[in-house]
Amino acid sequence: MSFILGVVITIFISSFSFFYLNHLEGTQSNSKTRLYDFFENLDLRFNDFKYRFGQSPPKEQKTILVAVDDESIDEVGRWPWSRTHITELSDKLISYGVSSIGYDIIFSEPERENKDADKILSNFVDQHQDKIILGTFSDNLIQTQAYQDYCINEAFLQNGGDKLIKVNPSFVVDDSGDKFEDLDWGNFFTAFFKAVQKSTEESYLTKNKVVTSDGLTEFQKNYLKSLKTKNVFEYCQHWLTPNDQYSDLKKENVLKLYKTLFSKQNAKTEDDVQQILAKIKKESSDHPIPQYGRWTSNTDLIQSKSLYTGSFNTMLDIDGFIRNYPLFYRAGNRLGSSFIPSLALQQYLVSTGYRADVKIDKVGNEKK
């Protein structure tokens, strides 16, 4: 009887929430979309009920959430706190015997008020590398052709990814079987990325009516740096498409880059290069793991001292709740340097001493 009552209540609440949210937001979706959303919302609420109904008795709490609440702000002062405070708090946790500390905040810019604060936190991370997991985040979910992963991977590594993700003994991804991974993609794409960055800077300087970047304000310089990174990732989504303005094989310098990249394949002519590119496009496989481009990292001073970094990306369901939390993400396809574990997974591994060996089965990408 209680189960049936729960189902009825769930249906009522789901229906009310659905129509209320649509009325509140003034949604003009068609009937098919509204019906689909209704049943998705209903399914989510029903699953919530099932989890509550079958919930196991609470066990001993082994994970502690240190939250910055209103009382904390009243006592310590406004957020963000100095990194000296963060270090003191973290050091206290270490003294209590915690097995690991994961930060779901990012120290992305140097602290201005206290010039020594970053160094203090950096030293702390260095002293406790085996217990500290720094955080990272990206909302730049990207959809590319399978073969464009090579470009995304190099864009990630050349824009701070080499410092963000290091070879991780506790989190190993077996993504073997890639026929083209051993090519020198790094040097190859560097030339294209420099061309994109140069074009971006020239356009931005012209727009702001200055001759060199010295004529820009600090805010404009920061924006230009961000714009260069953004355009590099966008270029990867155009690589080897009709919108790729940099891969014209009729240009001798471009053809030379491709010949060098495919030297092991003995590419000597434009036709040779075209055949190899066609093979790469056809045989590259779609990847099942969500791919994100630009990731927000910590300052170099702090990030360079860390062994572990975890993502705290979240995915909202249609009703605004979080029920799914991927165990890891990727930013390309290179073994050991492009897969980013979730903060929760990495902290679990560090705390328990376990190692996660992940085997990925790619879906064949047949192209005609």
Are the CB atoms for 360 and 173 separated by under 8 Å?
yes
Are the CB atoms for 310 and 102 separated by under 8 Å?
yes
pLDDT score of 63: 83
pLDDT score of 41: 75
pLDDT score of 25: 46
Terminal CA-to-CA distance of the chain, rounded, Å?
A: 57
pLDDT score of 1: 56
Are the CB atoms for 294 and 230 separated by under 8 Å?
yes
pLDDT score of 94: 96
Q: Show the CA angle centred on residue 141, arms to residues 140 and 147, nearest 5°.
A: 115
Three-class HEC string of the chain: CHHHHHHHHHHHHHHHHHHHHHHHHCCCCCHHHHHHHHHHHHHHHHHHHHHHHCCCCCCCCCCCCCCCCHHHHHHHCCCCCCHHHHHHHHHHHHHCCCCCEECCCCCCCCCCCCCCHHHHHHHHHHHCCCCEEEEEECCCECCCCHHHHHHHHHHHHHHHHHHHCCCCCCEEEECCCCCCCCCCHHHHHHHHHHHHHHHHHHHHHHHCCCCCHHHCCHHHHHHHHHHHHHHHHHHHCCCCCCCCCCCCCCCHHHHHHHHHHCHHHCCCCHHHHHHHHHHHHHHCCECCCCEECCCECCCHHHHCCCCEEEECCCEECCCCCEEECCCEEECCCCCCCCEEEEHHHHHHHHHHCCCEEEECCCECCCCC
**Separation in Å, CA 252 to CA 257, 265, 343:** 9, 19, 47
Residue 99: how many other CB atoms lie within 10 Å: 13
Chain-centroid distance of CA 211 in Å reads 35
- For the whole model, what pTM was predicted? 0.79
Instruction: State the greatest distance between any 2 C-alpha atoms of the chain, in Å, as a whole number.
Output: 78
Q: Show the CA angle centred on residue 19, arms to residues 15 and 22, nearest 5°.
A: 145
pLDDT 10s digit of each residue in the chain, 368 long?
555 655 565 665 555 555 545 544 444 444 457 766 776 777 777 777 777 776 666 667 688 888 888 998 999 898 889 999 999 999 999 999 999 999 999 999 999 889 899 999 999 999 999 999 999 999 888 888 989 999 999 999 998 888 888 888 899 887 666 778 889 999 999 999 999 999 999 999 999 999 999 999 999 999 999 999 999 999 999 999 999 999 999 999 999 999 999 999 999 999 999 999 999 999 888 888 888 988 999 999 999 999 999 999 887 777 778 777 889 999 877 666 788 999 999 999 999 999 999 888 765 443 33
pLDDT score of 54: 65
